[in-house]
Chains A and B, each alone.
Chain A
């Protein structure tokens, strides 16, 4: 199945694209998508983010599917979904 990752704010600046599509296995999860994002775009991200290990990597992001926040790597995704990625950091 195909899932789109949409990068907001400076994330898109860092990874160099506003969005990207990924092929995931049927029944793929949010964790699978994070692994793909990390594999493809991790090297383009600042070390403070891109070099985070597998366990810490998700905490750098605030991810949403519609109005639903995605926290759990085990959350199943559906074909054709857009997942919004934000940096988990706000300005003052």
Chain B
């Protein structure tokens, strides 16, 4: 087997038993790696209607065949499990150095079940694994934890993925943090980690699986680096990070403001340019990335360097809360990183609190202070209260769906899909995104696929995914489905979503690493398989077509801005999507024929007994 170690480290924290789980080449060829591999392992082990935080549930850290190779933009890992926030399939990915170290430790990933009787962390180094005491680390923030583990192991090359206090307290949108402020943020998998008393996974080593054609891989890597450097994504993100899009997004109506009720807001103070002007900005690049879209703010406060916000966070704590104060956005981001909170879910929940306060539903007495829109100090205070589980912070820490229930509001007011809070690309500005959010494998996900990029002009010729009118719901279904499948694959391979590579290149890379013969058709089928497998997991957990929807707060036409008067026709797009996907309109499940076509025979047996 080439490109893989062919084994996952399986650990039961209740019994402290560790064993290698062998992965066959046929299994890997089918599920490839990363989040899809995690889904396949979860599917095998899950029980229907389970409590996501029950000890028997699995939590998987996984790499892919691209991870650790000379290819650029491949230092990514995925975490998968049943989401404590949504109750359905949950996954999150992150970059940094940890993915290379995890693969370099000699396993393709780690599967954790059970619950330790006291806080522990895992240490993996070149084929050896240890469960170590983390009692003294419990209570440390994510930065302190990473440093303490490196100090304890006396190994600077160790990379650490850990939880902060949010994960320890099992806050439903707790993130897993690695390499300073990189976050596997979405779906609350940090809470799942906390429920197992697992404070961190530390990895070190340089064990690399053999490549099928190493010379070809190096050639492809050189070509890819040249191509990336010659691409717009490189110069734009290197110069200004993802915040380079903030002002364009607002002009296009893509950046939501005032809890999704406006798309007109002055954003000139919170752009990538503004960040560069206000602070000393250093680029952060994941291992092997020629771009470096991450921001590090040097001496943000005397002697304190912090990770800079990216687009999602800037808009979430900015326009969504009607806040123009860049400093407070940086502080809120830093607080979330320190304590391990998903900035998207945190920001959307806080914006909902402002909204409810304006309506008079959430009072000063309940909050402890007034919540006028744009009050930057209130935003910081609410993040602190969420982390501390103090007062109203406890309600906000459950996410918007639970907040709506708590305050007796219609669920259509909760800005989420399937319980996962909406990211900062408005489905009214790119109708393909409305469909993508409604059907995303983990709920409202802006990364699979990021259809706004298609309708801005970035086509995928191999699959005939072509730009179309962004404010129209016509002809979107097939393109969205294909693009979701393609972008889902990025998290299997694993590869950064910003990598401007063609499908033909991806196939050549995969084949030269593994010796397989994947063509464009087979690759898309693998993406389809992944989407359907994750769908099957969520179906088993109770998901139906009724869950494939957008809340009204995020779909009702606005009265000003570039999307004024326009509303996506979700049902129309959804019907086309279901037809293309081969999903049953009544049940919301993949049809038996589709599952068989994709080789998901085990799912057929359980879904259609």
A interface residues, Cβ below 8 angstroms from B: 8-10, 13, 46-49, 59-62, 67, 69, 71, 84, 86-92
Contact B235 A46 (CB under 8 A): yes
25 A-B pairs in the complex with CB atoms less than 8 angstroms apart: A8-B248, A8-B251, A10-B244, A10-B273, A46-B235, A48-B231, A49-B235, A59-B457, A62-B457, A67-B562, A71-B467, A86-B248, A87-B236, A87-B244, A89-B233, A89-B236, A89-B453, A90-B425, A90-B453, A91-B237, A91-B242, A91-B249, A91-B311, A92-B311, A92-B450
Q: Are A86 and B456 also in contact (CB < 8 A) when A8-B248, A67-B471, A69-B470 are?
A: yes
Contact B271 A9 (CB under 8 A): yes
Q: Are A90 and B271 also in contact (CB < 8 A) when A8-B248, A10-B240 are?
A: no
- Taken residue by residue from 212 to 240, chain B's Cβ proximity to chain A (1 for < 8 Å, 0 otherwise) reads as 00000000000000000111111111011
Interface check B452, CB cutoff 8 A: yes
Q: Which residues of A contact B240 (CB under 8 A)?
A: 10
Q: Which residues of A contact B453 (CB under 8 A)?
A: 89-90
Main secondary structure of the interface of A (DSSP, over half): mixed
> Looking across the interface, which residue of chain A has its beta carbon closest to that of B246?
A91
Chain A min CB distance to B154 (Å): 36
- Taken residue by residue from 230 to 266, chain B's Cβ proximity to chain A (1 for < 8 Å, 0 otherwise) reads as 1111111101111111111101101000000000000
Q: Which residues of A contact B243 (CB under 8 A)?
A: 91
The listed residue (A46, A49, A89) touching B456 by CB distance below 8 A is A89
B interface residues, Cβ below 8 angstroms from A: 229-237, 239-249, 251-252, 254, 271-273, 310-312, 425, 446-447, 450, 452-453, 456-458, 467, 469-471, 497-498, 562
Contact B232 A90 (CB under 8 A): no
Contact B456 A88 (CB under 8 A): yes
Number of A-B contacts (CB under 8 A): 85
> Looking across the interface, which residue of chain A has its beta carbon closest to that of B468?
A69
Q: How far is the CA of A62 from the CA of B471 in the complex (A)?
A: 14
Q: How far is the CA of A81 from the CA of B126 in the complex (A)?
A: 64
What 8 A-B pairs are tightest by C-beta distance, nearest first?
A91-B242, A91-B245, A91-B311, A88-B457, A9-B248, A46-B235, A88-B456, A62-B456
Chain B min CB distance to A43 (Å): 15
Q: Which residues of A contact B469 (CB under 8 A)?
A: 69
Q: Which residues of A contact B249 (CB under 8 A)?
A: 90-91
Contact B232 A9 (CB under 8 A): no
Chain B min CB distance to A36 (Å): 20
> Looking across the interface, which residue of chain A has its beta carbon closest to that of B248?
A9
Q: How far is the CA of A49 from the CA of B311 in the complex (A)?
A: 22
The listed residue (A9, A47, A67, A88) touching B244 by CB distance below 8 A is A9
Q: How far is the CA of A46 from the CA of B235 in the complex (A)?
A: 7
Query: Given contacts A69-B470, A89-B453, could you give 11 more A-B pairs where the C-beta distance is less than 8 Å?
Result: A8-B251, A48-B235, A62-B457, A88-B456, A89-B245, A89-B456, A90-B249, A90-B452, A91-B237, A91-B244, A91-B245
Q: Which residues of B contact A62 (CB under 8 A)?
A: 456-457
Contact A90 B245 (CB under 8 A): yes
Q: How far is the CA of A91 from the CA of B458 in the complex (A)?
A: 13
Contact B247 A48 (CB under 8 A): no
Chain A min CB distance to B283 (Å): 15
> Looking across the interface, which residue of chain A has its beta carbon closest to that of B425?
A90
Q: Which residues of A contact B248 (CB under 8 A)?
A: 8-9, 86-87, 90
Q: Which residues of A contact B312 (CB under 8 A)?
A: 92
> Looking across the interface, which residue of chain A has its beta carbon closest to that of B565?
A67
Q: Are A86 and B230 also in contact (CB < 8 A) when A9-B271, A91-B311 are?
A: no
Q: Are A8 and B247 also in contact (CB < 8 A) when A69-B470, A90-B254, A90-B450 are?
A: yes
> Looking across the interface, which residue of chain B has its beta carbon closest to that of A66?
B562
Chain B min CB distance to A64 (Å): 8
Q: Which residues of A contact B236 (CB under 8 A)?
A: 10, 87, 89
Q: Which residues of B contact A92 (CB under 8 A)?
A: 242, 310-312, 446-447, 450, 497-498
Contact B251 A86 (CB under 8 A): yes
Chain B min CB distance to A37 (Å): 16
Contact B232 A87 (CB under 8 A): yes
Q: How far is the CA of A60 from the CA of B311 in the complex (A)?
A: 21
Chain B min CB distance to A72 (Å): 13
Q: Are A91 and B310 also in contact (CB < 8 A) when A13-B273, A48-B231, A49-B235 are?
A: yes
